[in-house]
Each structure stands twice: as structure tokens, then as C-alpha cells.
Amino acid sequence: MSKFVRRGVNFNVENEHQWKLVEWVTRKSPRNFSGFVKSVLYAAMITEEAALEQKRKTADDSADN
């Protein structure tokens, strides 16, 4: 069994939004698409976790009052 998991990403080049994404990611990381996508996903995960933690903290603060 391989230690890697593969997930494909398809872009519809006839869709303006998706084509802009292809152009942008190619400029940002012309040689390491996989690494770039993983860094973007990691940043999104951290942002989401921080938002959830803030929501929990706000709920806890409200319960204390």
C-alpha cells in the first residue's frame, strides 16, 4: 500500500472563473502545483479551526454572564 493519497483537480477551461484559477496557480507555483494546493488547503483549515475556536470562546463567555 502506498503512503500517498491522490486527489485530482479538474479545471473547465471554458469556464472563465476556473480558467482564471488555472492561470493564477500557474503563476504562483509553476513547478509545484501539489505543494501549493496543500499550503492553500492548510491555510483554509487553520482559518476554519480558529473561527470555530473563537465561536466556542464567545459561547463560553456568554454562558459565564
In single-letter form, the type of residue at position 63 comes to A
Sign of CA dihedral 14, 17, 21, 23: positive
Q: Would you say 18 and 12 are in contact if contact means Cβ atoms under 8 Å apart? A: yes
Query: What is the grid cell recorded at 7?
Result: 486527489
Confidence band (pLDDT; 50, 70, 90) for 65? low
Cβ atoms within 10 A of the Cβ of 2, count?
Answer: 5
Residues 6-56 have pLDDT tens digits of 999 999 999 999 999 999 999 999 999 999 999 999 999 999 999 999 999
* pLDDT value of position 15: 98
Residue pointed to by grid coordinates 480558529: 50
pLDDT at residue 59 greater than cutoff 90: no
